[in-house]
Amino acid sequence: MLHDDGLGGSQATAVASGGVRPSEFREIQSMAHDIFGLELKTGKEALVGARLGKRVRELGLKDISDYLGHVKQDHSGLELAGLIDALTTNFTSFLREPVHFKLLRDRILPGLAGRQTYQIWSAGCSTGEEPYSILFETAETLGDTKLGAMKLLATDISTRALKAASEGIFPVARLKELPDSWRKRYFQRGTGQQEGMVRVRPEWRARVQFERLNLMEDLSRMPRCAVIFCRNVMIYFDKPTQERLVGQFAARLDPGGWLLIGHSEGLMGVRHDLEYVMPAVYRKPGAGR
């Protein structure tokens, strides 16, 4: 989740190699865990120094201690959001973990086709490839006439990732896993300075509701959902945080609703009331089965 940003100059080298004092790193660990659930393990000091060192220079501050003081004094919350952006890397792709999209196409969506309305939530949507994949798969499976029944919510804690997601601009190479017919139907090709880029067509972007959300918050205000995608997010959380979040997801699922998590994640050792369906797929007991 964290990586080194190749910094230049003697100040950057100092930050990357030893600029994070043990007490500062413990404070960052505590903030990361308590505010947005990230388990930042010992051994990441140099990586944290590299990522935050860049922000220190941007703000013209002296060191990371000054930066942490700046974060605490900024009551707007914008610098805290910047800290989150600095510590997290948003990696995703279209149709990532294809077995989930096969399940969506073959089993989940046909079971929802008769509903007048239903909600799908992409929790931890990153730069948007996941919710757009859900949208396109739904359009292809159910057709345009039934697409209006679906409400698609996409949330992330990163303001940077959400901005990119809502703009819907991607390098052409990102579309390599998509069928040619999808590329023509759902994307516009860039020209001139935008050559080599594509953008999700505006009528399709408008079908996704993007919203900033910290999954550590009380999620009781969130809508009831037929399906929740939360993939490759919980891998960075400790077990108590995972358990608390899964409990909140279960409370927001309709009876018979689906929770899809990343294949690198598992709920082993996490208490929950969901039924295991297959690896990385769980379902809430009740009606609609």
**Residue 208: how many CB atoms within 10 A of its CB?**
21
156 is catalytic: yes
Cβ count within 10 A of residue 222: 20
Pick the catalytic residue from 96, 156, 254, 283: 156
Tokens of 42: 């010992």
Q: Give Cα 52 distance to the centre of its chain.
A: 21
Token code pair at residue 273 = 């009331």
Does 212 qualify as catalytic in the annotation? no
Task: Give CA–CA dist 263/201, Å, rounded.
Answer: 30
Name the active-site residue from 51, 205, 231, 283: 51
Q: Rounded CA gap, 230 and 95, in Å?
A: 14
115 alpha-carbon distance from chain centroid: 27
- How far CA 96 is from CA of 100, 125, 129, 130, 263, in Å, comes to 8, 12, 8, 7, 10
Q: Which residues are catalytic?
A: 51, 156
